[in-house]
Structure 1
Amino acid sequence: MTSQPQSQPEPQQSPYAPRSEHPDSPATATAAPAAPTRSALALVSFIAGLTVVLLGVLVTLLYPLIFISQPMSTGVVVVVQTGSGILTALVALVAVVTGTIALLKRGGASKTLAAAGTALGGAAIVQLLAGLVQSGLFQLVV
């Protein structure tokens, strides 16, 4: 009794299997998943958000130095507050706008940095608006 070699059927490739760029090379099912890419807009948003936070810390630490070096000098404080407010508003707007655009873009880019930048920028804008409301309330009371 001789056994005849039986031909085994070729396994069918899943329609969801990764496709190779070259039609002659077989696609492997063990291909590593692609790492999420970083969006340049998301990175700009995150850096702008961090800049807003660092600017706030810097200005907070700057006030005692101003009061020590020039006691009772409200002019310097007004200049520092106005300058930091304008700079914070601009950088916060950059963080929110670029972060929002990065979040709305379609694609496989990671959205974590964009979300963080948008949140930091948005929080800074809320703080600036609260400061403006506070100034308005002081004007009404005084």
Structure 2
Amino acid sequence: MFTASAAPSEPRPTAWAIRVHDLGQARAFYGELLGCRESPPAECALSFDFFGTHLAVWPDDTDAPGVAPGPLDACLALPQWRNLAQRLMAAGTRFEVPPHCEQEGRAGERWTMFIRDPSGNALEIRAVGGAAPRWH
């Protein structure tokens, strides 16, 4: 499992809630591919530690409270981000925006990638600063 802390100046949500088409696909994507630890669900169908934030996963056919309107966001340490990016590429993941660096070598350097889960939920996974991974 990956864990990461956001920069102290960044507010972090304490929980996300999403709807999915297939709970088995969600379990494989979040638990196996992303490496998020599954925890016992409370009122939702599945529950994960999404890089330090609770993620409640609901089937499409339920009335899920507080479903995420925009992308889920995770900020990882650069070695964790690099490891996850390599694992996603090896798995043939389709990237909305492939792993890359913005402002490389300058203040505000930020590594980012955007993907979607099997149900179309958007995820932004990023890291701030550090040594540059090479992709070719």
Q: TM-score, normalised by structure 1?
A: 0.22
More strand by share: 2
Structure number with the bigger relative contact order (C-alpha 8 A, sep ≥ 6) is 1
Q: TM-score, normalised by structure 2?
A: 0.22
More helix by share: 1
